[in-house]
Structure 1
Amino acid sequence: MTPCTETRILDGMEGFEEISREHWDDGASVRSIVSYDRCRDYFDETMKGFQLRIAVGASDVRLAHRSVKMGSSQVDFVQLQCDRDFHVDQPDEFDYYYLKLILSGRCELRMGEDVTAVSEGEAIAVNPFGSLKVLWKGLCEQVMIRLDRNALEQTLAEELDIEISDPIRFAPVAVGSDESRPVSALVDLLRRDADGACVFGTWRLGRQFERLVHLAALQCFPNNYSELLRRATSMVAPYYVRKAEEYLREHLREDVTIEDIARVTGVSTRSLFYGFRRWRDTTPMAYLKKLRLDVAREALRSAARTGASVTDVATSVGFFHLSRFSSEYKARFGEPPSATLRRG
């Protein structure tokens, strides 16, 4: 297969306007193939078990394909033109979910007893279990987002802070471009990055970008965890976060460690960091520092009545290095503690 040097782009796309056609035309990573036999072989080699089948007598078959990695997942831009109807078969069981964004054309997905038509400007999520046949009417231009099954389940488990006992099952329904816009916007961002700096091709940033796509997919495509995800956004902080906050308020002056908090709350340090980041947008130790400084400010404002000094207030909230207390205090409130003390 040779890199594409001249690929005709189809006109008339509706929906997913943010996914630029330029991803077909970088002149380096797009594969352009003509003839049914070569297209079929290419599918067998590169599309992880998908099999291309075209009606007898097809004479005009053209395939353009570009693949972009994203952590443990992958995005495929596919354009296939054919003068006959064709279908793509998928194996019964595989290790990834995938999202189909239809840029041009119309297809019909047969998943077990479910039959779903997906048209231009629509998208659908496909589960990694059960046989699937996708029938196309002579034209296919789509984005396929392969999401590693284990990675998607891990993201969901972390987001809900639960063990995933039942596999994620997306509903066999098509959604419009407005509903799936968070996904398509991320796809376009990934494509633009692949054409330029390619920062999402690095391991760390690729993993984080992949997580964003996971969350967008779980939000945009109806699934058996949709209601739980919706409720989670309005839930109060879980017990262990509130227990940690109570413990920190009661031990302001002590030399508290993250291990101390984990022991009291009965959860792992990882869960503590995740819980505070999700529900308090901070870390446990940063929360403790903020709490100490807030209490210190109130104590300095009443120092004229109590007779306390800056040193007294600092040590009362666990700061035993006065210079550090002064710098932390000024960074948070924009003035040194002595100024608050004088003003009262």
Structure 2
Amino acid sequence: MRPDDQADLFLSDRFSKVATTDVLVARPVIEQLQGSYLAHPRTSKPHREMQIRAARFGEVSISTFAFGRAVDITPTGLEDAVVVTTAIKGRAGIAIDGSTFDVDIGDTIIAHAEDRPVFMYEPDTEVLKLRFHRSHLEQFFRQAYGRAPRSTLRFETAMSDPHTAARWRSLLRFLVLTLNGAGAHTRTMLELASIEQMLMLTLLNSQPHNYAAGLPGSAQNVGSTAFERASDFIRQHLASDIALADIAQAACCSPRSLARAFRDAGEAPPMQYVRKLRLENIRRELLAPAAWRKTVADVAFEWGYRHLGEFNRQYRAAFGETPSQTRDGACVLPA
């Protein structure tokens, strides 16, 4: 992950809870967000200001922490908690059960109370943390899969699969952008519940855990994973030339299995799916005032179309009007 790719993972200043160099001032806020902890500074050198921001989605807390110093943090209040930590600036380290994980920008680590994790920060390190109630995750699993687990839920520590990591980062971006753009809008209980469920379902479906073994419909799960990988690849390369073979390779399956995965997901075949996403993005851009200085041809070319005639035909079939009519209609809309 490039350093500039994490810029939209920072909560805005209006979520600031702490901006101080005084550890005593910061401690009660940190403990309210993440539970009690022990701090072990690794140096007595001058340090930067601590920056902590936080918000909530239902029962899930989302926080960003920058301690501004070289320090090891040992949480002691993680009862009934699953903490998902993603580095968004600098470099962090996490020690779990005697093993140390280096966490670069974009990397994600999952910790439970019994892991006795130690989070190691450098002065320029900043992380984004999601704290889940483990009992809530277990209850959600029972409701979603109709199966009562016999043990305590545990996830694998490192989110090592690149497709899972990319999907999780995309979800984090959506969450942070939703929060930052909310302004004075008050989210309803239904919105909060929906976002919380999306977080839990993504974590349970994507990250390996001890409840996954023996789940019914394992073949369907494989198809779901292929679709998710293909969809992620398509969205990341939508403006480029994409061939069916490229999508199948990204999804780690054959073109025939890929078509089946899209069908099982209730979607059009892969290349029709590509076309649908491109047309939707083009229409959205044609309706946006910021793009009115561009020609229709420029917009179409930027989203991967190389033949204007074919583009016009597909656009009209999808939306019942020409691209120019969409642009003209948007230009006369009242302010």
TM-score (ref. length: structure 1): 0.56
Note the alpha carbon deviations across 1:171-229, whole angstroms, 9 max, x for none.
22242664323322222222222233377843222112111101111233222134445
Residue pair 1:92, 1:130 contacting (<8 A) in 2 also:
no
Structure 2 residue 16 is the aligned partner of structure 1 residue 34: no
Q: Does the 8 A contact of 2:35 with 2:78 survive in 1? A: no
| 1:1-344 aligned within 5 A | 14=2, 17=5, 20=8, 23-24=11-12, 26-27=13-14, 29=16, 31-82=18-69, 85-91=70-76, 93-175=78-160, 178-197=163-182, 201-228=187-214, 231-232=217-218, 234=220
CA distance in structure 2 between the aligned counterparts of 1:74 and 1:212, rounded to whole angstroms: 14
Distance of 1:16 and 1:158 partners within structure 2? 39
**Letter of the structure 2 residue corresponding to residue 35 of structure 1:** D
> 1:76, 1:145 within 8 Å by CA — same for their partners in 2?
yes
Shift of 1:140: 1.8
1:100–1:145 CA contact under 8 A, matched in 2: yes
Separation in 2, partners of 1:59, 1:87: 16
Change (3 A) 1:89 1:185: same
SS at match of 1:20: helix
Distance 2:157 2:165 in 1: 15
Deviation at 1:120, TM superposition (A): 2.0
Unaligned runs of 5+ in 2: 222-263, 267-335
1:62, 1:51 → 2: CA distance? Answer: 19
Distance 1:152 1:186, change over 3 A: same
Gap change, CA 1:139 and 1:177, over 3 Å in 2: farther
For 1:221, give the aligned amino acid.
Q
CA-CA distance at 1:152 after TM superposition: 0.8
Aligned residue type for 1:180: A
Question: Over aligned residues, Cα RMSD in angstroms?
Answer: 3.1
Cα gap change, 1:232 to 1:62, in 2 (>3 Å): same
User: Cα gap change, 1:151/1:27 in structure 2, threshold over 3 Å: closer, same or farther?
Assistant: closer
| 1:132 Cα deviation after fit | 1.8
Q: Percent identity?
A: 14
- Residues 36 and 77, structure 2, Cα contact 8 Å, conserved in 1: no
Structure 1 gaps, min length 5: 1-12, 236-278, 282-344
**Can you list the C-alpha shifts for 1:227-269, whole angstroms capped at 9, x where unaligned?**
445844628xxxxxxxxxxxxxxxxxxxxxxxxxxxxxxxxxx
SS at match of 1:143: strand
Aligned partner of 2:312 in structure 1 is none
TM-score by length of 2: 0.57
Rg comparison, structure with higher value: 1
Aligned 8 A contact 1:122 1:177 in 2? no
Distance (whole Å) between structure 1 residues aligned to residue 106 and residue 10 of structure 2: 18
The residue identity in structure 2 corresponding to 1:213 is L
Amino acid paired to 1:111: I
1:25-44 deviation line (CA, Å, top 9, x unaligned): x4464531223443445434
SS at match of 1:150: helix
Return the alpha-carbon distance in structure 1 between the equivalents of residues 30 and 167 of structure 2: 28
In 2, Cα distance between the equivalents of 1:153 and 1:47? 20
Q: Which amino acid aligns with 2:96?
A: M
